[in-house]
Structure formats: structure tokens, C-alpha cells
Structure 1
Amino acid sequence: MTDQAEPTMITALARGARCTCPHCGEGQLFRKFLKVADKCNVCGQDLHHHRADDMPAYVVMSIVGHIVVGLVLWTEINYSWPVWLHLTVWLPLTVVLTLALLQPVKGFIAALQWALRMHGFGESRGALAAVAVHS
């Protein structure tokens, strides 16, 4: 366990978006593509408390939807592409943007819950601080 100062909320959120531990910024937040690790492998912070559920998917749908729909409308108004070209461009772009944003958004939400001490993160952080002080 590392004996370090508690990061600010902005720092914790940036670390989560980078898919690293919101506490130390060094350990990996995910053990699989969208499975959050139970503990940080560097500082030992419990991470299993997060309850992101479907929120990352909703956030990603909103972001990708605004980007793709805006581009589709702009392209249709200015260029009048045929339907096959729209499908060829926008479907792959939608899939790529969705896959690229899912993990950082979920990391951001898990870090937000950590920073706000939601869903049991407050107790585990208190225990982590107590162990660091006594060691």
C-alpha cells in the first residue's frame, strides 16, 4: 500500500478516463475489456464497489449519437450521398466510436463513484488510509 495524499476529484476522474486506478493512477482499472478489477494491483485500493451498471452505455450512446447524427445530417444537406455510401461510412464509424469510448467512460464513472465515496468506497478508502498510517 502506498502512503500518498488523496487525489483531487479532477485527478481521480482523469485517471479513471485513462483506465487507471483513481487512487494511485498507476494500477490498471480493468482486468478485462469492461470488467473492473477487484483491487488495484499497485496500491491495493478496493475497486469492486463500483456500480456503473448501464450508465456508460447511455453516455456513450448520447455522445456517439450526437456526433454521427450531426455528421449524417450535415453530409446529407451538403452532398446528398446515396444510401449505400451513408451505410458504408456511418455504420463502421458508429461501431468504432462506441468501442473506443466504452472503456474510458466506464472508467470515468467508476472514478466518479470513488471520488464521491459512493457504494462503499468511503469505507474501503478509510480502511486503506488506516493501514497506510499504521504501516
Structure 2
Amino acid sequence: MKTIILLIFSLVILSGCSKNVAVPEAENETKNGQVTSAKDAKAFATIRYTGSFEDGGFGWVLQMTDQVFEVPINLEKDFMVEGMDVYVVYGYTDKEVHCKCREPRWYVEIVDIQKASRYGEGNE
């Protein structure tokens, strides 16, 4: 049963690959490797574990909608909880995610993250 659920979730994730919008490196200003430009994105997301890269997953991801997700490079261990709702501020990096996606996909760097309710504000 776990295999079927993982397979279905992986198909949903892979279908979302083409939904990612690449942001060229030149548009992001960084300070000590952290994205600081006005191009930072803010969103409510759900933390999901999609499986290891070796098994065709993306590890821990920020799932924005059923078909849109981002792959963070710096998700803290306290937030590696399946199904946790968060409010996140992030920016795109110049590091490409190696996947079999139709379009290039870029890792995101989390600037700020808080536990949140999908229907409320970020919690401290």
C-alpha cells in the first residue's frame, strides 16, 4: 500500500516539474549565500517527503499546491515533519535540481520559515 501511495505521489510531483519558473542568477542578489533581493517569494506550503533522490524522489519539499512544489537546500530538521503547514519566504538559487523534468528546476533557499495554519497567519 505504501508503494502505491508513493508511486501516485511521485507521479503528481513529476507532473509538477514543468510548473517551476526558473529565475536567472543575475536577478537574485545574495549576501553570504542567502537570497536578499526583492524577488523573494512568500507562500503557505505543506512539508512533504517524496523519497530519496536515489529512489527518484526529491527528498523534503515545500508543496504549494497539488502540482507545484519547490526543493529547498536548507530545510531545518525541526521542519522535516510530513504534513506540517508552514509560511515560508524563499528565493531561487543558481543550483539546478538534477531530475528528469521537462524544464530546468532550481533549488530554493529558505530565508524565513514558520509553522502556520493554511487558513491563518504564520505562528512564532
- Give me the TM-score of the superposition, normalised by structure 2: 0.25
Higher helix share: 1
Higher strand share: 2
- Give me the TM-score of the superposition, normalised by structure 1: 0.24
- The higher radius of gyration belongs to 1
